[in-house]
A and B are shown apart, each in its own frame.
Chain A
Amino acid sequence: MKPAPVLAEGFPDLSGMRIAREPHWFRWLSAALIVLVLAAIGRAFAGGQIEWSYVSRFLTAKVILEGIVNTMVMAVLAMALGIFLGVVIAIMRLSPNPVLKTVAAGYTWLFRGTPLILQLLLWFNLALVFPTIGIPGLWSARAVDVMTPFLAALLGLGINQGAYTSEVMRAGMLSVDVGQYEAAQAIGMGRLRALRRVILPQAMRVVIPPLGNEFIGMVKATSLASVIQYPEVLHNAENIYYANSRVIELLIVAGLWYLLVVSILTPLQMLLERRFARGTLQFAR
């Protein structure tokens, strides 16, 4: 049958009718269950052998505050070193020069292939290998004086981070369209200038979420530096419980500080992402 010029019968007018809210029974039920479980866990801890007064007393103790400051200083400096090394290694890895490429691949292989705690111990104990270090004829010093816990932690964490960050940066640079590099070349830019002015700014948008992830990892990885006597927050908490035996209370104190720091970092990452999203439709002015 050919379609008639008028609309067919049997299709009622639905305009003006609302879509009803679903009751979502299962969501309510599961939420209630989770609240119950959390309450049970909370009650168990409240009745457990934890002196909460110690937690609140040591939460703002001077030694703990110094510890969290040292943790943050180390995390920021080691991450900065890691990003610097990561960018350099990623650029070397993508270079047409086979020597640079191999050196970069070797660096990543070595520092990603061994445990971080082992690297920290090696840096800290460097004096066992080289009792004195320096530039022949110019300057020399005893390695034990130079390789302080601070320097050993910075080198260990930063160089290890560089190996991971280089892969993140490389992925970011590969995500930029080849046409961008050609367009940069076509207006006379050399490789390094094109990387700095065109490729890296666009790669940043892609690498910030994984770098934020890496930085949060770094904040917590600084706790490994407690084994080489770097006075970060976990190390200081341990020193206190060696004296007063309030082990769990002080571990909770340290844990709360880590949680606080990480909670502050997440919105900071959002701000950075916005900054580097310039020119994408999502955040266009």
Chain B
Amino acid sequence: MTKPLVAIRSVAKNFGEFQALKGVSLDVWPGEVMCLIGASGSGKTTLLRCINQLAAIDSGGIWLDGELLGVREQGVRLHRLSEREIGRQRLKTGMVFQRFNLFPHKTALENITEGPLQVQGRRFDEVRAEAVELLRRVGLSAKADAYPAQLSGGQQQRVAIARALAMKPMLMLFDEPTSALDPELVGEVLAVMKELAKSGMTMMVVTHELGFAREVADRVVYMDQGAIVEQGRASDVLGAPREERTRAFLSAVI
């Protein structure tokens, strides 16, 4: 029997008084494409950031590939892992940000090779060959030596996807990857993500692109006020929502 790649159990996260996550539990299975939808402030981005440990959870636990993230059990207490160990755990996930966050002082190719060279300490010629192949895969072979400022938003986001893939992650996290793009550039990024989904990558996608969710997602999770309200097949959640809150959200965004 297969095990979930990500197991999230009773995860809570507060920012001061604000409860961003109120005991969320969820499994993500290998090869699954999951879309997280919901209004801003519903906790979907926070959940993604907790999986990548850009935010530390306050209680509960997240297991990735069977390994507990961020903390170590010792007797009856949990001890926070060192920065180095957290860095090692992060290598299993790739993150794509809403605002791309490419390194502006490095070319597209250098952005992709930075992690494998600096963090994984791999050989230059091998890393470079892989980066060239990744650029081809996202359709930007001609832009290898361009700086981010010379690329359109859609091109920057495709480089950012390639940068995340260069670390050979088991899980790709997308945090509203098309929200900062001009409408005519959304399609090229979604096309790359569709291709990635088809290749069998496990993906968690926070998105407002319901068309993408309907077409690509194996499962859609609707979140509201830090909790999961409804989840299921895309056609069910988006087509025939059971919960009143889901219906209200969907009628507001469509």
Contacts and interface: CB of A to CB of B under 8 A. Distances in A.
A200 B184 CA distance: 35
A187 B119 contact: yes
Interface in A168-225: 177, 179-180, 182-191, 193, 197-198, 201-202, 205
B101 A188 contact: no
Contacts of B163: 187
Nearest to B119: A188
Interface stretch (A82-90, A101-109, A154-162, A273-281): A273-281
Interface residues on A, range: 20 to 34
Interface string A84-116: 000000000000000000000000000000000
A279 B115 contact: no
B155 interface: no
A190 B83 contact: yes
A284 interface: yes
A180 to B, nearest CB: 6
B193 interface: no
Given A279-B148, A280-B104, A190 B97 contact: no
Given A280-B149, A284-B150, A202 B105 contact: yes
Contact of A284 (B97, B99, B149): B149
Contacts of B118: 189, 193, 197
A79 B120 CA distance: 35
B104 A186 contact: no
B99 A186 contact: no
B115 A182 contact: no
A184 to B, nearest CB: 8
Contacts of A281: 149-150
Interface in B143-181: 147-150, 160, 163-164, 166-167
B90 A185 contact: yes
B102 A202 contact: no
B96 to A, nearest CB: 9
Given A187-B115, A188-B90, A193-B118, A279 B164 contact: no
B7 interface: no
B95 interface: yes
B99 A179 contact: yes
B88 A278 contact: no
Contact of B84 (A179, A180, A187, A190): A190
B61 interface: no
A279 B101 contact: no
B87 A190 contact: yes
A280 B99 CA distance: 17
A179 B104 contact: no
Contact of B101 (A183, A190, A280): A183
A271 B52 CA distance: 40
A187 B164 contact: yes
B114 interface: yes
A6 to B, nearest CB: 36
Contact of B83 (A191, A278, A279): A191
A241 B81 CA distance: 68
B94 interface: yes
Contacts of A191: 83
Contact of A186 (B54, B84, B107, B147): B54
B29 interface: no
B254 to A, nearest CB: 30
A284 B90 CA distance: 33
Interface in B103-123: 103-107, 114-115, 118-120
B119 A279 contact: no
Contact of A188 (B99, B103, B104, B115): B115
A198 B148 CA distance: 14
Nearest to A204: B105
12 contacts: A179-B101, A182-B95, A183-B160, A185-B54, A185-B90, A187-B163, A188-B87, A202-B104, A276-B105, A279-B105, A279-B148, A281-B150
Given A182-B54, A188-B88, 18 more contacts: A177-B101, A179-B101, A180-B101, A180-B103, A182-B97, A183-B103, A184-B103, A185-B54, A187-B119, A187-B166, A187-B167, A188-B167, A190-B87, A202-B103, A205-B105, A276-B105, A278-B105, A279-B107
Closest CB pairs A-B (n = 9):
A187-B115, A183-B101, A279-B147, A186-B95, A179-B101, A188-B119, A279-B105, A279-B104, A188-B91
